Structure 1
Amino acid sequence: MITLSEEVSRVAPRPLLKWAGGKTQLLSDILSRMPSTYGRYIEPFIGGGALFFSVAPKDGIISDSNPELINLYRSVASCPGEVIQHLRSFRNTEDMFYAVRALDWTTLSPSEAAARTIYLNKTCFNGLYRVNRFGSFNVPFGRYANPKILDENTILAASDLLKRNTILCGDYKDVLRKYARPGDFIFLDPPYIPVSAYSDFKRYTKEQFRESDHLLLAGEVHRLHDLGCHVILTNSNHALVHEHYCRFAVEILQTKRHISKNGRGRTGEDVIVTVSPKKKFNMEVLTEPLPAQVHRYPSTRYMGSKHKLLEKIWSIASQFDFDSCLDLFSGSGIVGYMFKAHGKSVYSNDYMAMSATFSRALIENSEHILSLDEAISLLERRNPVDHFVERTFQGLYFSDEDNRLIDVLRANILAIENPFKRSLATAALIRACMKKRPRGIFTYIGHRYDDGRRDLQLSFRDQFLEAVTCMNGAVFDNGKKNLSRHGDAMTLANFQSGLVYIDPPYYSPLSDNEYVRRYHFVEGLARNWEGVEIQKHTITKKFKSYPTPFSSRTGAANAFDTLFSHFRDSVLIVSYSSNSKPTLDEMVAILSRHKRNVDIIPVDYKYSFGNQGKNVGDNKNTVQEYLFVGF
């Protein structure tokens, strides 16, 4: 014989009430989006509790601002027998319905009030809960033939579940701020925004909830995300919902509306907003130290190089699972090289030929080196020399003797058949020019910044051979296919990669971001001055800078939006400076259009040199570098 307690234990808990706006229709959709593991279950708009009874948490928290509803759940949890006993006295008659409806539930015992709530819910029109301005229940009699007023097994099963959970009465914000902890799961089913009247937020079956309330709720959801909670929210398919939760996954579902006794054909659209916990980055301790190989990368004093930020960049990147990465604006090439040293398949890109030359020599190239004998032979005149540098740049940057040697090297390097050896030799020549040049840039002529350092005293011949040695020492095979591209980042739209690192030219009204202006001479070496027109009227004999959308604030904002859209399926890490435009908030807004999760890691940073200190608070080129992370 099966006892009553055994029979009850075999009954799955289910909702006690028929509830307008209940989530029975969406249960499978919500359950499929819940995390597999989480801390506590918290539902602060419990209503009919369809999801709560389906999940049946052991130590959850449910709450509502409706005291009559909370009294029901507390009474069923503590004294289900008394609730059942009171329900046995109710009948499905219009006279009894209106007599019971007229009772003030606050004057009844908790179990009597709970029984009254169940009875009215089962026999009123469509299970609505609605009160007038005086707080009195005012839904009419439902005229159902045989409603199930008393379901003992359901009440007892619900009691077993409810007594294992905390039941609170209060505002959802107070409950969440007191009880929500990282890792918890929160289900939010607030009163929906009415889709038929944009500005009317008063007509609800549950409670009043206005536009400002929905804005506050959105702020709370973002707080829970930052706290590290899992959140699922339901609402109507309304423009405000998409606006408030654009950072998260918003999915539209077709549902039926049962707002009358004949609900056939009444359909609507609900949305489910799924919020994953904000990823917490451990910026204090690296998951592993930078490989020794990284420190073999030849230094060049390249402006904008992220050599000092490598540990920060890797400490973020290492917390994601990825096999390939794209270094979209490679610059000095050090970041892509660092990823290669960590065993990643690297695709390096830059619109500067000199940058592409470095990445081809040291990232794409995995085995070819330039022997010392080969390097020495490049210093001897073996091929026809055009004397281009000697004639064009006489007296500007180097001595006549050095200019003649540069022309000899150019001619001999062009004759190298192996493309990787040719890139190694060109990169060594570029490095020798930058090392031999005070400050390493070509925006001025002469040697007024000569500080007597060793690099400036070393002969050009020795500088080149030393550069070749450094290049050879940096060549290695990481067992992966790595590629170098010389091209516009904006045209690389269909490339798929696990992680994309973006370090674009920074636009600032205080300084320019024209790398060609600073490095036109070595950029000319990399291109052999093909496809450029030297501006002979200029003192420095520079050529026109390449067009770039990052040369204006509006152009930079639009370019970021396009790039983030192109790589929306990859983890994005973006380096950015505090004195650049768009602003921090604008960058977050742009990135949030394309990534559900956006984090900002500020890093104090000091550039090696610059000329705008007086314009930015005399900070000696100290700024705050931001690392934006989108995932």
Structure 2
Amino acid sequence: MAYALKYLSSGLDTPRPLLKWVGGKSQLLDELLNKMPKRYGRYIEPFIGGGALFFASQPQNGLIADSNPELINLYQAVADDVEAVINHLAQFRYDKEQFYAVRAWDWYSLEPSLAAARTIYLNRTCFNGLYRVNKQGQFNVPFGRYTNPTILDADNLRNAATLLQHTQIVCADYKTVLREYTQPGDFVFLDPPYLPVSTYADFKRYTKEQFHEEDHIELASEVMRLHELGCHVILTNANHPLVHELYGAFTLDVLQTKRYISCQGKKREGQDVIVSVPPKKQFQLKLVTALPVQMSNYPSTRYMGSKNKLLDAIWSVASQFEFDTVHDLFAGSGVVSYLFKTQGKQVVSNDYMAMSHTISKALIENSDVTLSSAAAQALLDTPTPGDGFVEMTFQGLYFSDDDNRLIDRLRANIKLMPDPYQQAIARAALIRACVKKRPRGIFTYTGERYDDGRKDLKLTFATQFLEAVATLNAAVFSNGKHNLSLHKDALEVSPKGCDLVYLDPPYYSPYSDNEYVRRYHFVEGIARDWQGVEIQQHTQTKKFKSYPTPFSSRQGATAAFDTLFKRFKDSILLVSYSSNSQPTQEEMLALMGKYKTHVQAIPVNYRYSMGNQQHKVGDNKNQVTEYLFVGGE
């Protein structure tokens, strides 16, 4: 994160506040300056008032704001043309008759510099430096009794102008400012109108705007949002029970202060509270060194939902934690499991799809077993009697009769292999060959109407199989850990021994379906040998019924996430998710927040390369934001 310089380097004298201001923070400056962060992005103060902390800290590229347009005009006029303000102020004197004449002016009708001079003059000569207007918005504080008040301090105005020229000055309510301008790492100082307490109940009469208890409750929700966003926040208020209730999770310092606004001396003692709200720890997509060379050996895939393009982002976030073991509950193509394996982690790779389990058996659990080219050739050549299932069931649908017979031969020979890892490599190679020989690599249609003439479609099936074996062999390696491939429902995987759990479930979206079985039923059938499934003979594609999954509905997905987050509450949670999906981002953060202290959504721009929304590229249906949700302590 880049941080702005905290102080101007111009060498100017520290400017003092331009106005006397009820509730000003001059008495608390030492405490406030000590509590400010040493580094921050931008200084933001949405209740600027007299700006004591702003002028004392002299932030560069700060933002000050207030809902009082006359006050904001003052600061903007000083920034834009301080000499004009000085010239106008030089014409005023401490005189009761002039005071009431100037007070009667309509400041809206004045040029900005004269209106600013009027504001300073009235403030310096009115009773106790109050700012109060009537229902018509007219300043109505009476003339004050002073010996020799300072009306013009040209040097201080010039110093203030130098600072204000580096500052964005906004006339807006605090909510607009906080929601439109704050960024992670910013420092926000909040000095709202105080809650009234018995020791200075009269104070509320002189605040720059009316603030009730419900307003303070709403402000507290904004403070929590800033905390979640990653901002540094300091807030001041009265020592009121509601303040302790609203901000009890943070550091509260109670300080004795004097009040200068009550006509009764016994009410001039008060207690201020300084609330210090640190930023919630933020995980960011940071530049990472190149992924291990071994990653380049992983077989490329067009598998639906594959996170191959997001590996840098996933590791960027995960690497900010200390962990040794990973559970990848929805492994899919297996590429994320493989990523963690290359990083020396002990990996449990799980998926409810048998084809995914087959791949992770061959490349995640397997550490050193490969399948020789001679053994692979023998699988193609050995005429072992088989059941002819593919040839009979899928004739004329996806492959030629010769290819169907070869698939059946491979199926029969693979079953006879004694080594489970060689069997997994051979079956994964068969699956890969089938996918690469299909236009678009899916089985939601029959025939070859999507044949684009690419090389993969021209190679023989036998060649595809042998190349797949070689590709898988090259990806086999040991990371010195005992890794495991599971074929379970994610909700049944034990959280025991899991430091970090990675979740990439089927996304439920109103824009597209998440039926992996519908797309890959043929190769899923190869992985299962069509055991335990019932082919829907009435369908043109001869698919079998999709597996039941809670992620097929919004309500089911919400319940499943809640169950998984609860089940793995003692693990670091890392979730891939899409902006097109439901539950929404806010709902996901709320679900995760039930079980983790720190939760965050990190956006990653990503365009899907496949799916059934290709025709809607123009209206942004497959341009989505991929999120990495993080849950940690």
TM-score calculated relative to the size of structure 2: 0.62
Aligned to 2:570: 569
For the pair 1:223 / 2:226, whether they are aligned, the reply is: yes
1:379–1:60: structure 2 CA closer, same or farther, 3 Å change rule?
closer
Is the partner of 1:467 in helix, strand or coil? helix
Partner of 2:486: 485
Specify the alignment match of 1:110 in structure 2. Answer: none
Q: Corresponding residue for 2:216?
A: 213
**Distance change in 2, residues 1:513/1:60 (3 Å):** closer
1:432-581 aligned within 5 A: 432-581=433-582
Looking at structure 2, the residues matched to 528 and 183 of structure 1 have their Cα atoms a distance apart, in angstroms, of: 58
Alignment match, 2:380: 379
8 Å CA contact 1:507–1:580 kept in 2: the answer is yes
Matched, 1:427 2:434: no
Distance 1:535 1:427 in 2: 25
Runs of at least 5 residues in structure 2 that lack an aligned partner in the other structure? 1-5, 7-22, 38-46, 53-173, 205-211, 252-274
- Quickly say closer, same or farther: Cα 1:434–1:275, change in 2 above 3 A: farther
C-alpha contact (below 8 Å) 2:508/2:514 kept by paired residues: yes
How far the C-alpha of 1:466 sits from its partner, in A, is 0.3
Give the paired residue count.
446
Distance 1:59 1:361, change over 3 A: same
Which residue of the partner structure matches residue 316 of structure 1? Answer: 317
Q: What amino acid does structure 1 have at the position aligned with 2:229?
A: D
Contact kept? 2:231, 2:279, Cα under 8 Å = yes
Q: Is the alpha carbon distance of 1:610 and 1:226 closer, same or farther for their aligned partners in structure 2, counting shifts above 3 Å?
A: closer
Verify the 8 A CA contact 2:370 2:425 in the aligned structure 1: yes
Residue 366 of structure 1: SS of its match in structure 2?
A: coil
Change in 2 beyond 3 A, CA 1:58/1:513: closer
CA shift, 1:280, in A, is: 3.5
Letter in 1 for 2:527: A
- For 1:263-274, list aligned pairs within 5 A: none
Equivalent residue number for residue 112 of structure 1: none
Tell me if structure 2 keeps the 8 A contact 1:249–1:274. no
1:542 is displaced (CA, Å) by 0.5
Q: Any conservation in 2 of the 1:225–1:276 contact (CA below 8 Å)?
A: no
In the alignment, what sits opposite 1:277?
279
Q: Displacement, 1:592? A: 2.3
C-alpha distance in 2, partners of 1:352/1:384?
28
Please state how far the C-alpha of 1:390 moved relative to its aligned partner: 0.6
For residues 476 and 295 of structure 1, the distance between their equivalents in structure 2, rounded to whole angstroms, comes to 12
**How far apart, in 1, do the equivalents of 2:586 and 2:427 lie?**
42
Q: Is the 8 A contact 1:298 1:470 kept in 2?
A: yes
Q: Tell me the SS of whatever aligns to 2:574.
A: strand
Deviation string 1:1-49 (CA, Å, 9 cap, x unpaired) is: xxxxxxxxxxxxxxxxxxxxxxxxxxxxxxxxxxxxxx9xxxx999xx9
CA distance in 2, matches of 1:521, 1:398: 11
**Maintained 8 Å contact 1:300/1:434:** no
Q: CA deviation at 1:612?
A: 1.8
Post-superposition CA distance 1:222-259 (Å, at most 9, x none) = 31453454999999999x999x89xx9799xxxxxxxx
Matched, 1:300 2:292: no
Structure 2 counterparts to residues 350-389 of structure 1, below 5 A: 350-389=351-390
Compared CA separation, residues 360 and 275, structure 1 to 2 (3 A):
farther
Query: Amino acid of the residue matched to residue 400 of structure 1?
Result: D
One-letter identity of the residue aligned with 1:492:
V
1:212-251 map, 5 Å: 212-229=215-232
CA distance in 1, matches of 2:316, 2:236: 32
Q: Distance in 1 between matches of 2:35 and 2:616?
A: 56
Deviations 1:252-304 (A, max 9, x none): xxxxxxxxxxxxxxxxxxxxx99763333442421x21111111111231111
Deviation (angstroms), 1:402: 0.6
Structure 2: distance between partners of 1:411 and 1:202: 84
C-alpha separation in 2, matches of 1:439 and 1:488:
28
1:407 alignment partner AA: D
Listed one character per residue, the Cα deviations across residues 368-413 of structure 1 (whole Å, up to 9, x for unaligned) are 1111111111112353311011101111001111111111111111
TM-score (norm 1): 0.62
CA deviations over 1:578-616 (Å, ceiling 9, x no partner)? 222222222222222222222222222122222224457
Structure 2 distance, partners of 1:181, 1:438, is 46
Distance in 2 (alpha carbons) for counterparts of 1:344 and 1:312: 17
2-structure distance, mates of 1:548, 1:605: 25
CA contact (8 A) 1:356 1:486 kept: yes
Distance in 2, matches of 1:603 and 1:306, equals 12
Q: Which amino acid aligns with 1:526?
A: A
Give the aligned partner of residue 126 of structure 1: none
3-state secondary structure, aligned to 1:588: helix
Identity %: 55
**8 A contact 1:605–1:623 mirrored in 2:** yes
Contact (CA 8 Å) 1:599, 1:629: kept in 2 or not? Answer: yes
Write the distance in 1 (CA, Å) between the matches of 2:521 and 2:282: 42
**Residue identity in the other structure for 1:578:** S
Q: Which structure 1 segments of 5+ residues have no match?
A: 1-38, 71-172, 192-200, 252-272
Q: In the alignment, is the contact (CA less than 8 A) between 2:226 and 2:233 conserved in 1?
A: no
In the alignment, the residues of structure 1 paired with residue 617 and residue 241 of structure 2 have an alpha-carbon distance, to the nearest angstrom, of 47
The question of whether the paired residues in 1 share the 8 Å contact of 2:184 and 2:229 is answered with: no
